[in-house]
Homo-oligomer: A and B are copies of this chain.
Amino acid sequence: MRRRTGDKERWITAAAMKIFAREGFHGAKITSIAKEAGVATGSVYLYFANKEGLLQHIFSELWQAMHASFQDLLLRKELTEKERIEHLIDSIFDLFADRPALALLFVNEQPYLLREAPGEMMYHYVDFLRMGEQVVRSGIGKGEFSPDMHPRVFTNFVFGGIRQLLQQWARAPRQFPLYVIRTEIKRIVMQGLLPRAVLNPAGNVRA
């Protein structure tokens, strides 16, 4: 017999992440991935069915992590819905914080998988958005949020905005740091662009 030495599966996924992110799924060559991983071309096929399987595996782990942290947040009864939304936003950024390559994969290759492997992907995707919607609904119910907000449109909008900023960040991590992005997103999401009326001590409205 012979034992597997080293965690080749991990080397390969790490390499794939890097190459997919740089070249795009279609531009990435299995040969480059193998070289980057330090294994032979053929070895990739010992661990994954094919190129697409490799991509799916990466996404699958990602969605799983995302789902888990969302699930956690939904269960924390002590949070207000406003806090919950803020934590949801944070948890997405936490996931990508030190992995810009993963972020690029996530934002760029999602459409491909959604077309080629609609089943699993669609499931995660829909489930994920559903969770967001749920929080918004519940916040409206409690009077925390504007009652005329459309939960599904809102959730999609925020999700899309986050993706776009993740992409900008991953493309050039220096142009704005992630903590700025998170903070700003929360501001936009909660307060919007217009200045808010605030109460002065006398109870009157100030611009």
Q: Does A158 contact B (CB under 8 A)?
A: yes
Q: Does A187 contact B (CB under 8 A)?
A: yes
Q: Given A152-B176, A161-B158: A191 and B188 within 8 A (CB)?
A: no
Q: Which of chain B's residues have a CB closer than 8 A to the CB of A91?
A: none
* A contacts, CB < 8 Å to B: 23-24, 26-27, 82, 85, 107-108, 111-112, 115, 136, 139, 143-150, 152-154, 156-165, 167-168, 176, 180-181, 184-185, 187-199, 203-205, 207
- Let me know if A156 and B168 touch, CB within 8 A: yes
Q: Which of chain B's residues have a CB closer than 8 A to the CB of A149?
A: 184, 187-188, 193
Provide the bound-state CA to CA distance between A139 and B195, in Å. 11
Q: Which of chain B's residues have a CB closer than 8 A to the CB of A156?
A: 161, 164-165, 168
